[in-house]
Amino acid sequence: MNRFYTYLVAVALVVLVASPLLAVNVVGTVKTVNADQNQFVLTDQNGRDWTIQVNQNTQILTNNNNQARLSDLRAGQSVNVNYELQNNQLVAQGINAQQAQQRGQQGQQTAQAQQGQQQQQAQQQQGQQAAQQEGREGRGQQAQHARGKIEKINADQHQFTLKDQNGRELTFQCGRDARVEVNGKEAKLGDLQQGQEVTVTYRQVLTDIRAGEKNEPADNAQQEKGRMVRGQIQQVEAAQNQIRLRDQNGKEHTFQISRDTQVQVNGRNATLADLQQGQQVTATRQMVANQIRTGEQNQNR
């Protein structure tokens, strides 16, 4: 009798082991496909590789629920696999590439949206930093005005030249936040035309400062254009990015310093803080336009 019960238990164990387990799911990315061996390798979300067999009963679906073959799967493709354990092998009952692709697309869209938000935040931060820098550069200096007719426009370089009422040619650089108005409406520098009468609000910025020995700028042509400034330093305000000079005629001028200003002392690169009161300097100035107005509205102001 005991032998009979032992036999029944042994048969039951064999049947249990030989029977397939309940189907389970795994989601991952196709690593390799071997259609000749009816198998593929999947890497799950934890980085573990699974070797999965495919038989004649395996249902493979791709986009729009279209039937497909194992050879249609591609390395890197996301899949959702429903499988069973048969004879110590993982045998796929169903492979759904569509749902996984949709999740992948959603993940990609989410990543792109996050990247776009990060780029937007970075641009906003850069804009705020630039605005703060512009504010520091413009603080403490009274705005100046010029009026005349446009002689030349170089929109690519953000520059334009006008001839003022005294016949002088003045070249302006447009600031980052420069506002252009044509007949009271907002416009762009490229909308202006040669010969138009304009009123410009601007500030003076030094782009090159040389103190001590070898204080002559390399480009002597700047002197001919009236952009050269020579004088003695009266005050340096590094925190405000400003410097006050007394020119050769005894007149004092306050200039702004931009982040791109090159400073040299005795032929060596330096900073604004390295300059000292009483030093003789030669500098190149640039007129930076904050506002440009033209048209009928300009005539009435």
Write down the pTM of the prediction. Answer: 0.45
pLDDT the model gives residue 15:
45
- Residue 204's φ and ψ, nearest 5 degrees, are -100, 130
Averaged pLDDT, 121-131: 55
Tokens in use for 105? 């697309």
More confident residue, 278 or 100: 278
Q: What is the pLDDT of residues 57-104, one digit of tens each?
A: 999 988 777 888 898 888 998 999 999 988 888 999 999 886 544 444
Residue 30 vs residues 39, 84, 90, 122, 146: alpha-carbon distances, Å? 11, 18, 15, 36, 69
Q: 3-state SS of the chain: helix, strand, coil percent to 5?
A: 30, 50, 25
H/E run at residue 122 = helix 97-138
pLDDT the model gives residue 259:
81
Residue 9 has pLDDT above 70, yes or no: no
pLDDT the model gives residue 8:
46
The Cα angle at residue 174 between residues 172 and 178, in degrees rounded to 5: 135
- Write out the E strands in 37-140: 39-44, 49-61, 78-86, 89-96
